[in-house]
Amino acid sequence: MRHFLTINDFSKDEILAMLKLAIDIKHKHERGEQTPYLAGKTLAMIFEKSSTRTRVSFQVGIYQLGGFGIFLSNSDLQLGRGEIIRDSSAVISSMVDMIMIRTHMHERLLEFAKYSSVPVINGLSDAFHPMQLLADYLTMIENGIYVDNKILNTPQKCVSQPIVAYIGDGNNMANSWLMLASKLGFELRLACPKAYSPKKEILDIAYKNAESSGAKITLCEDIFEVAKGANVITTDTWVSMGQEAEKEQRMKDFKDYKVDSKVMSLAEKGAIFLHCLPAYRGLEVSEDVIDGAQSRIIQEAHNRLHAQKGVMVWLDSQNSKKATLQI
């Protein structure tokens, strides 16, 4: 059974195949063509952690693919009343074709997938946010910033050796950037306060992947150094859901990690700004940057819809043991 729990679970070619599907499906959608590749299929959407973009993009996405989405919050599930994960997973997966989970603890996601008889997709966990990263890379592709390759077969000129600068918390977004960069082979620079660097075990995985992919990964505390010559500058909120008790301390620790016009001015000409949202203007990013000409946050958020459709169709194809998928 192939699940989608972290980008590290897939080869470079598999990641690009998902993105190629996403691009093809998006183009068909823009031309007004129907894409019923999951006709009659049902997606269970389990939200232990609430969301705007994840809820809308998955529910609309499965609908546009010809399927049906079921929204399940803690108040809808016996999980919220103490039922063990093993039982919930076995029962729910016996009734649906695919499951998306957005949860606080990555361990819960892993356990759910262990006992599921259908593909499980990570909609977000405290360790990784892989769906967001595929949407981010799709946005980079559409802006001509990606590693050149034959699989995508995109016609436009591109920055074939892109540099991405991530500034801020070494959280699930930083972890996911590490997995994507180390798999696809582009340069990733992370500027995080020392106490908030990604965990050593995550960095070790990325460094090992980079040995074969040719990726270059650097970690420092200087936001201006990582921004120099970057093609993409990205950040995340300083205080994520569930970290409210740490807010006062985090505000102090991250006060010098705002992405503003001075930071963006150091980037390469044509650089873009990304943020997974929700964003807090005036904190991790200034208003003139997030609302400026270089910002691609709405395009990025919209691409969650199409990136996730690509993943769902790919997973269905793999788990149905179809030889090829013609689109």
What gap in Å lies between CA 18 and CA 276, rounded to an integer?
20
Give per-residue pLDDT as tens, 165-198. 999 999 999 999 999 999 999 999 999 999 999 9
Interior angle at CA 249, CA 169 and CA 190, nearest 5: 15
> CB atoms < 10 A from the CB of 300, how many?
26
Does some domain include residue 96? yes
> Which residues of the chain form beta strands (DSSP E)?
42-47, 68-73, 98-102, 120-124, 163-167, 187-191, 216-220, 232-235, 272-275
**What is the pLDDT averaged over residues 282-308?**
98
Is 93 in the same domain as 207? no
Which residues line the annotated binding site?
51-54, 78, 102, 129-132, 172, 236, 240-241, 276-277, 304
What gap in Å lies between CA 97 and CA 252, rounded to an integer?
46
How much is the pLDDT for 323? 44
**What is the pLDDT averaged over residues 300-318?**
97
Quickly list H helices, 167-199: 172-184
DSSP codes of every residue in 236-259: --SS-TT-GGGHHHHHHHTTT--B
Does some domain include residue 226? yes
Does some domain include residue 1? no
At 151, the pLDDT band (50, 70, 90 cuts) reads confident
Does some domain include residue 35? yes
Active-site residue numbers? 102, 129, 132, 236, 276, 304
CA distances from 294 to 37, 138, 200, 271, 297 (A): 35, 16, 33, 7, 9
Does some domain include residue 168? yes
Which residues line the annotated binding site for carbamoyl phosphate?
51-54, 78, 102, 129-132, 276-277, 304
Q: What range does the domain containing 262 cover?
A: 132-301
The CATH number of whichever domain residue 158 belongs to comes to 3.40.50.1370
Is 168 in the same domain as 293? yes
Residue 215 in contact with residue 186, Cβ under 8 Å? Answer: yes
Residue 3 in contact with residue 119, Cβ under 8 Å? Answer: yes
Dihedrals φ, ψ of 313, to 5°? -65, -40
Question: How many independent structural domains does the chain possess?
Answer: 2
ω into residue 278 within 30 of 0, thus cis? yes
Which residues line the annotated binding site for L-ornithine?
172, 236, 240-241
Give per-residue pLDDT as tens, 80-136. 577 899 999 999 999 999 999 999 999 999 999 999 999 999 999 999 999 999 999
